[in-house]
Structure 1
């Protein structure tokens, strides 16, 4: 008698580092001449990713402590003056050297509410530090300005829901719909202290604006790998700030602020080395639109609208995952910025812990 066989290849919690959960990639071997049965195989999942994935089973709770560190270094040279020859410049050179370090400790909880619906909540705590050194040459003597800023506080709390749209029958990919809401519990740009000239005296720990992000995730098991892709759109909600930012002859008030919306894209592959270890290679990119800000001059009564530049934030994703036991895994991820607007490096350490509660 010929029996059906399954070749199971486990891709661990590493995918949760990059917006995709771990699953079991399966190859099915059918008897010769027998038509394959249409059937649903629910992948084994430990952690739902930030942007969605195959859902955690009903009644299962995943608690995921996380520590993240990111670093960004900016070196900029500017010139104001006259170019006499291609090798002779007369004017003022300004050199700016900025180093930014962000530390985030977060706890994420995910609950399998039904077999197809999962609810998620993330609570972050943020510490930021920035060192800014500006040197102006061609001045007697050279002028150097050093500024040190920092702040630590609660970040923006996030709520999310994930719904599995199909059953992944007969080798079809899994599609998951996601909806994420980001609050304003962190200290935004209009919550921090400023001097009379409007210069910030501390750093933000949140964006200061609510956002809603619908997205869709695709997972395609192909043993011993799992391919993943995610596409989302972030709606940042406009807000009427109505806050004074400078004091003096020209008192400036900030009126309506419309943050730029963003398109988010990520894709990659997770590869199983053995039943407990896997690695991931991927790429993600955020295309962020212009932010429009209205300034009102109380002295003259004039209103001016200023638009920021668009941003292109792209990063290469590398990661590793180890399955300690069926309920606990360790995930280590590294993001390397490859566009000018992306942080240089981001290192993340996560430990999803699963448990059954009903």
Structure 2
């Protein structure tokens, strides 16, 4: 019989065995060897066995009708199960079938994987499977859209690429060191001939070290939404070496200054816009930066009376370095991730808007104030991109580039003297290692590609998941 399963053959063998027992029991025995009571008992046993044989025959016929010429193949069964049709899945054969593909960037089934046993529905990631007409779970072809999350990569930039799961908390202490150096030559005078300068030549070298320790707290409000709060503490030290030529000075002058204080506290939120079933993920972010740090208008500037105009006395440099920008900022951003096995490509675009401050004045020596008017720093247009590569189940490596274009600062509605658009470009290499289910170590190194960018930046992060 074509198409009969193992259960059908087992039922047929049992029916044959019962028929043999019935034939042996039906042979007439001499009346002298059995009493009337024993004959009645044998008749009852025969009647019960006939009923069992009839039931087995009906079950065998139904099994043959289902698994005969109308039996579904494995591919057709997988296709009907993927449509969520309980009627089609009800006639599934008891043999093995190919596993159903799940949604996500790596949704292709593995040809080398063993086949899934029949009759076991795939379990979704978060939501429960809907009930079928018979009261049991209906076959599931795809996981719910909200369960898909971006893949994890070694972080390079300020904002992480993976969202925090719902109900989880991540505490991330971090440490960042930056070093920047610049050389400036100022020529003040006029030329008689191209080879002769009458006036002042100021050669200045600046060495700047910045150390920032921060503590960030992130939590997932849902599988697609997370919020973050970050509080930094900043220590800065600057050394300016200068020599004024044509003023009778033959030695270098060194001006050292430093500052340490809490930095600008930040709060942000990030939301995943799509399910990622097509392999690409889009995450929108919004970050608000306060001005809790010591801003440039609170520190004392090295000027006796004023630092602008003709009456200048002092270097014009701050005696104590600020640790904050002094302005509120709002930054929307859009991050994208595209998984292409074995790599993950990612990038983002952002726009940081600095809010204007009115009636600003800065503090000079002897407690005097210099009025500056309305001041607004230039807005920042930023973009970055990179690639992450998983080395094994614990380690990953990332390469990326980050660029920021800073607009001109405006004072009193006009561009501030000496203010120009600044370009910052940084090449980044990051490494991530998962120490355990709760701890991970992330290290990144950045190299400045423009003269205004810090020469080197080293960042270390240790996120802890609760």
* TM bin (shorter chain): 0.7 to 0.9
- Counterpart Cα distance in 1 of 2:399 and 2:329: 28
Deviation at residue 337 of structure 1 after TM alignment:
0.7
1:26 is matched with which residue: 106, 109, 112?
106
Structure 1 position 260 matched with structure 2 position 370: no
Q: Aligned pair in 2 of structure 1 residues 314, 224: CA closer, same or farther (>3 Å)?
A: same
Computing the radius of gyration over CA atoms, which structure comes out larger, 1 or 2?
2
The offset of 1:306, in angstroms, is 2.4
**How far did 1:117 drift?**
1.1
Q: Is the 8 A contact 2:105 2:276 kept in 1?
A: no
- Give the one of 302, 307, 324 matched to 1:206: 324
The reply to whether residue 163 of structure 1 matches residue 281 of structure 2 is no
State the partner residue of 2:427. 316
- Helix, strand or coil at the partner of 2:391: strand
| 8 Å CA contact retained: 2:153, 2:161 | no
Match of 1:186, SS state, is: coil
Question: Once the two structures are superposed, what CA deviation does each residue of 1:247-288 show, in whole Å capped at 9, x if it has no partner?
Answer: 89x974121111111111011001111111111110011111
TM-aligned CA distance change 1:149 to 1:116, over 3 Å: same
Unaligned runs of 5+ in 1: 8-23, 32-36, 296-303
- The answer for unaligned runs of 5 or more in structure 2 is 1-95, 112-140, 308-315
Check conservation: 2:150, 2:281, Cα contact below 8 A: no
Q: How many residues end up aligned between the 2 structures?
A: 325
- Structure 1 residue 92 displacement after superposition: 3.3
Distance 1:129 1:271 in 2: 37
Q: Does 1:192 align with 2:192?
A: no
Aligned 8 A contact 2:153 2:398 in 1 = no
Residue of structure 2 in register with 1:352 after alignment: 463
Q: Which residue of 1 aligns with 2:395?
A: 277
Q: Closer, same or farther in 2 for the Cα pair 1:162/1:75, shift >3 Å?
A: same
1:61 equivalent among 155, 169, 184: 169
In the alignment, is the contact (CA less than 8 A) between 2:154 and 2:430 conserved in 1? Answer: no
- Once residues 291 and 324 of structure 1 are traced to their aligned partners in structure 2, the CA distance between those partners, rounded to angstroms, is 45
By how many angstroms is 1:30 displaced?
7.1
Distance in 1 between residues matched to 2:243 and 2:326, nearest whole Å: 31
The whole-number CA distance in structure 1 between the counterparts of 2:343 and 2:151 is: 14
Aligned counterparts, 1:1-358, within 5 A:
1=96, 3-4=98-99, 26=106, 28-29=108-109, 39=143, 40=145, 41-43=148-150, 50-51=158-159, 53-83=161-191, 86-142=194-250, 144-171=252-279, 173-195=280-302, 196=304, 197-198=306-307, 199=316, 200-243=318-361, 245=363, 252-294=370-412, 306=416, 308-355=419-466
Determine helix, strand or coil for the equivalent of 1:167.
coil
Structure with more contact order per residue of length (Cα contacts < 8 Å, sep ≥ 6):
1
Alpha-carbon RMSD across the aligned residues, in angstroms, is 2.9
Distance in structure 1 (CA, Å) of the matches to 2:245 and 2:465? 58
Q: What do the CA deviations read for 1:84-127 (whole angstroms, capped 9, x no partner)? A: 55555454332111000000000011001112110100010000
CA distance in 2, matches of 1:158, 1:343: 22
1:74: how far off? 0.7
Q: Does the CA-based 8 Å contact 1:46-1:354 persist in structure 2?
A: no
The structure with more helix, counted as a fraction of residues = 2
Paired with 2:396 and 2:159, the residues of 1 have a C-alpha distance of: 20
* Structure in which a larger fraction of residues adopt strand: 1
